[in-house]
Every structure is written in structure tokens, then in C-alpha cells.
Amino acid sequence: MEWAGAFGDLGTLVPFVVAYIAVLKMDPFGILFAFGAALLICGLYYKTPFPVQPMKALGAAAVTQAAQTAVITQATVYSAGLVTGALWLILGFSGAAARLAKLVPRFVVIGIVLGLGFSFMIEGIKLMSTQWPIAAIGLLGTLLLLTNRAVPAMFLLLLFGAVCGIIQDPAVAHALSGVRVQFRLPSFALATISWHDLWVGTLFLALPQLPLTLGNAVIAVREENNRLFPDRPVTDGLIATSTGLMNLVGSAVGGIPMCHGAGGMAGHVAFGARTGGAPIILGVILLSLAFCFSNSIEAILNVFPKAVLGVILFLTGAQLSLGSCDFSKNKGERFITLATAAFAMWNVGLAFVVGMGLAYVAKRGLLRL
């Protein structure tokens, strides 16, 4: 089940990795190496299915802007990772991250997690809508086997997806036949960045991501981890420091900005993971791909149809949403939770601001429902 749970976060990992490689022409080695190393270390240290994900808002901005203009480049992404790492390391070591997190009421955190769960489910439905027959078979089969300890549902889903991908597009099989082992070693990526890259990466990518990371990748993942694994608790300061370290090291080897998204833990857990074994397994696989198959990674990842990735995202969102149903008995706080969730389905950073604003208004006695 740890093996099955290891693949529970592919719904977010695969699309972003493919987008960075296809649009920004980033070296797959650096991306895979950074993710693999971070997952391996997190599994060994946290001893829970602690996730490592691409920073979503930053990644979306980088890919879309790069597709439209020449402002965002590979060096800009490395710069954003470097600045992000430095900021979160400072916030973690100084204790500022923990102090900021304590200011956020629990009913706002629940709203963020609930909204994230719904947004994952909606995004999953969008991907499933591209190929409804495949999605329907994959979703139904996975639901029937989700609690089966003898037959891990994720393995059958991935196998089903790979078979469908090859049957639908013979070019996929042809591309796979050309996969060859080509051993590579890490290289230093920061030598290519300029002051202009650092400025653009900070202003357009790193800073807008901060509220999202605090809400989803620090507070929400701490809430999710400590709810599921009370015997292995984590703190906001520890998660902030971890985020800083993995981005500093990751950017140095050509990786993309990473975080500990709550949806990632929900994905691992939904498909069976209960220990640090799942991230260790996924980390070793990604490191193996980096060292031996990084030149063929796009062909390997394109095997899985979007509909199958949609099934993974949908079930991940359901797991995340189910864990955030502990609503307050206070009507005003329940309203704030729902309002925060609604905004979180659109923009987590804005949801964080709205939730905190409403909480302040309620505290002053001005919110009457």
C-alpha cells in the first residue's frame, strides 16, 4: 500500500513537470533530481506521507507568461526558487512563520483546506471530461478497490491508463520504444542567472506565491498531518524551514520551486500510504529517472491520458475535503469557513486575505447573520 500511495500525487506532479519541460525547455534532470532528493529526505525525516509538490500559482504564472512573452526564462525560475528558499528559511529560523500561523483561526484554515479539496475535484472533472469513457471506468474501478489491501487501486489505475494511452495513440508506444539509459550527473544552475532574472523572478513569481504557500503548504499541511498522524506531529516553523532548504538546494541544481501542499498528503493517503515509505519510494523512482532516463522523461510521462490524471486529482480532492468537515458550531465562523472555501477554489492567496478579514470583522462584533 505504501507503493500504491507513493503515486497518489501524480495528478499535480505530472502536468507541471511536462509544462515546465515543454514550454520553458527546462532540463528534466534538475527537476526530477530536486523532487526525488526532497521526497527521499522528507520521507526519512518526517516518517509520514509528507508531500513535495510544485508551487502551483508560481508554476502556472511561469508557464503561461513564458508561452506569451519572453520575460520568464529558465534563469527566472531558478531565481524564483532561490528567493523563495531564502524567504522561507528566514521565516522558519526566526520563528516568524509560526507566529504568523498562530494568527490564523482554525475555521479559516478549514475553509482553505475545504476549498482546495473542491478545486482539486473540479480540476479532476475537467481532465476527466476530455475522455469520459476512460474516466468512468477508471473512477469506478478505483472506488471499488480503494480500500482493498490485497489489490492496490493505484497500480491498476496506472496500468489501465498506460494501456489506454498506448492504444489511443500509437505514437506513444513508438516514443517509448526509443527510451534509452543515458547516465547523467547534477550541474550547478545558478551560474546562468543575472540581476534582471533575480528581479523578475522575485517580483512576478516568488512574492505572489507567499500567501498561497503560507495557507496551503504550511498551515494546511500541518493541520492535515497532525490530524492524520497525531503521534508524528509537525510545526509551522519546521515546515517553513523545510520549504526553504529544499528550494535553495533545488534551484542550485536546476529544479523548480517546490512546497509541501496539503493536497499531496491527501493524495498519498487516499491510495494507501501511512508512513514515510511512500515519499521515499517516489523519491527513489524520480532519482532513478533523473540519473538514467531524464532525456526521455517527456515520452514516459505522456503515456498517461489526462482522464486518468483527472481521476487521481478528483479522489485526492475528495480525501482533502472529507478531512475538513469539522465545522464550528458558531454560525458566523461557519460562514467564514464557507466564504474562505469559495475563494480558495479560485485563489488561495486571496482566500487567506478574505478569511482573515472576515475573522477580524467577526471579532469586532460587526458580522451578524
Q: Which carries the bigger pLDDT value, residue 328 or residue 298?
A: 328
Cα-to-chain-centroid distance, residue 306: 17
- Count of structural domains, the chain: 1
Q: What local confidence, expressed as pLDDT, does residue 69 receive?
A: 57
* Identity of the amino acid at 136: A
The chain-wide mean pLDDT, for the chain, equals: 86
Q: Which domain holds residue 186?
A: 2-363
Distance CA 337, CA 104 (A): 12
Q: So what's the pLDDT on residue 168? A: 85
List helix spans (H) across 47-73. 56-68
Structural domain contains residue 149:
yes
In the chain, % of residues over pLDDT 90: 36
- Domain-located, residue 143: yes
Q: Lowest mean pLDDT of 78-92, 166-180, 333-347, name the range.
A: 166-180
Rg (CA), the chain: 20
Tell me if 368 is assigned to some domain: no
The answer as to whether 109 is a domain residue is: yes
pLDDT score of 37 = 96
Say what the pLDDT of residue 318 is. 85
Q: What is the residue whose three cell numbers read 480503494? A: 146
Asked if residue 43 lies in contact with residue 283, where contact means CB atoms within 8 angstroms, the answer is yes
Is the residue at 322 inside a domain? Answer: yes
Distance of alpha carbon 84 from alpha carbon 12, whole angstroms: 20
Domain-located, residue 369: no
Of 167, 124, 154, nearest to 321 (Cα)? 124
Q: What is the pTM of this model?
A: 0.77
Q: What is the mean pLDDT of residues 238-254?
A: 95
CB 198 within 8 A of CB 83: yes
pLDDT at res. 346: 79
| Of residues 29, 37, 104, 95, the one with CA closest to residue 248 | 37
Write out pLDDT tens, residues 69-106: 557 888 999 999 999 999 999 999 999 988 888 888 88
Total Cβ atoms within 10 A of residue 103 = 9
pLDDT score recorded for residue 149: 67
pLDDT at 152: 75
Q: Which of 361, 340, 358, 326 is nearest to 115 (CA)?
A: 340
pLDDT at position 317 is 81
Q: Which three cell numbers stand for residue 251?
A: 534551484
- Give mean pLDDT, residues 102-119: 84
Q: 252-284 burial by CB neighbour count: b if 16+ within 10 A, else e?
A: bbbbbbbbbbbbbbbbbbbbbbebbbbbbbbbe
Confidence (pLDDT) at 18 = 76
Judge whether 229 lies within some domain.
yes
Confidence at 63, pLDDT banded by 50, 70, 90: low
Q: Which one has a higher pLDDT value, 237 or 211?
A: 237
pLDDT at position 282: 94
**Is residue 91 in a domain?**
yes
Confidence of residue 55 (pLDDT cuts 50, 70, 90): confident
Q: Please, which pLDDT band fits residue 278 given cuts at 50, 70 and 90?
A: very high
**pLDDT higher than threshold 80 for residue 137:** yes
